[in-house]
Structure 1
Amino acid sequence: MTIPFFDGHNDFLLRLMKTPAPREETWLGNTGRGHLDLARMKEAGFAGGLFAIFVPPVSSGPPPDFKALMADPPYSLPMPPEMTHAQAQPDALTMAGLLHWMERAAPDDFRVCRSVAEIRAAMAEDVIAGVMHMEGAEAIGPDLDALYLFHDMGLRSLGPVWSRTTAFGHGVPMAFPGGPDIGPGLTETGCDLVRLCDELGILIDLSHLNEKGFDDVARVSSAPLVATHSNAHALCDSPRNLTDRQLHMIRERGGMVGFNFATFYLNADGTADPGTSWDVMLRHLDHLISEVGEDHVGLGSDFDGCVLPDLIGDVTGVPRLFEAMAAHGYDAPLIAKLARENWLACLERCLT
């Protein structure tokens, strides 16, 4: 029996934007390229998820291959310069438009959702629920006016930063090994952004913020603390992973952690090893459940944005992960929580 699941993070919109037109084959064609397309999502039980708008770095030459640069730890990658909202908005609007195009291209199979009621209704009709997310808020601009526009388009989850600095705050570096206690946190404009997101019912994603930024969100926001795609720093010494202190804060605030499938955030040596085992993945899940609680952990795959374990391969490997969870001793009610129920409950606490 296929277990339906909700995924806290993917980068399919960026892949789709980079695909030469016509884009129907990438979305509808089941080409086997990348990690996601409609046919494979339906086969795997992908019932819904947060679809990230991520504006790639501006570069005068070919964009950096972060996967290759991170393949051989230790590493410390120079971050791209800060982007203005004028630079970021065109790509962000393109990806927002593509999310709505996905619905128009497959109206019986995919729906853009703005509330948990809409997500549940879509799932009940066997329609994939797509929720707009933004990874790095450069496209919003310091006056915050564009946030209202993106909210009207369906934005319900936002990370103030990717790893590069924005007008709103400072992220963790692309480095290994290292911790998240690096640099200043949110700017005053970033605090204003968080307050407005609370007012509009937009989830704040902590995944790429540094430790001071994480604490600033906890101080400024009254909402649950959520990291859509992060793992345990105690098991992999990456600045992108969460310390036990941060995990405890998420638990106390009724938040959520999405378990990230990216190999360089799983392996203790920081390598992007596609041979990563079920044991490595399950140790992270065990740790997250131990520190955050079984009601506050779900999936945050990072599909189409990372090097996956070969055991998963693409979205069709998620059922194998559930089988590994069962073999590890997770019972059916716990797997259902991890698969979808925890995410839906968290979104009900976060969205208005």
Structure 2
Amino acid sequence: MTKYDNVFNSQKTLAESLTPEEAVAAIAVVTAIADASIEEVDPEGLAGILWEFEVFEEYSEDEMIEIVDKLIYIAESQGLSPLFNTANESLPEDLVLDGFAAGVVALLDEEELIVPQNKQPFLKRLQTALDLEDEEADEIVKEIIAAFQAGENEADFDDEDDTITVEDYLEDVYESPLGNFTVSIPVDPTQGGKIQTQEGVVGFSDDFGTLLRIDYYPIPPEQLEELESEGQEEYLKNIVVDKYVPQAIFTNVSDAQIKYSEYLEDIFAGAYYALVDMPKGSTMSQQGNNGTATRLDAYRGLLAFINGEFLYIVSNQRSFLYGEIPNDIAEEAEYIKDNILSFVETMEFS
């Protein structure tokens, strides 16, 4: 008897039937138990992950927990194979991918964002049992991992962020902790407006995909010398192209590319502007067919300039819904640049 035969090498089924939704959840339950034990399964945690699937959008959290508890009891009393076989038989064709996705989330290492090597044999047998092609299965795994990455990087900030709603801030103007600038708050509390801060950064976002962000740094003496020797245009270009974009964007969005750049002589005695194409790099996500949220494509505009003793990089994101085709890159660059400049006009420096 080989490993996982207790799941896949029997024709037994349950006496009772499963609903299509229960069938999807059952695959997650079987998968979670197959490489561990029933005692190690966290019903509430598993229910919480499954609740994000579109197929369960009509269910409450409590109802999801009840479903998972019921399925765990069936697995314990009647066995994994009858539960899996009944789930497989109960899956309509349009939910087979959801069933496989449910298995993937039950196997995923949420810290490493991979399916561990020792669990991949089970995933392969699950794929075979559900009659999925390699390409289909690989795409689901990629979507699940991207969805978890989206959850981790949604705010584009670190875990230590101070995040408050605009309504709780009680002011129309945000003031930098260093006292170097104030800026009008550009998001609305009725649209889920939030202010997210950490040292040297403030971001403004809402539930509709708005993202305006200000990074600000006191310029150290050694960089002042670099600025003087290189000239402002070259200095700002190097900051954006060689330092900021690789560290803030490329590390999170591997396929990102700078698509447009220009030097603006008349802005703050010289400013450098760049547009970055970020495939699946938006802070905004859209629900997919398999119940997973996938990050949208986006363009991010960046404007770097110097005011007083500080370097500023002000950015704005434009996200594209599935099927939405961007305009010509020059038009998009101009549109986002105008948004940034309008925002910068509300800043007051001291």
**Higher percent of residues as helix:** 2
**In terms of Rg, which structure is larger?**
2
TM-score range, shorter chain: under 0.3
In the superposition, the TM-score normalised over structure 1's length comes to 0.26
**Higher percent of residues as strand:** 2
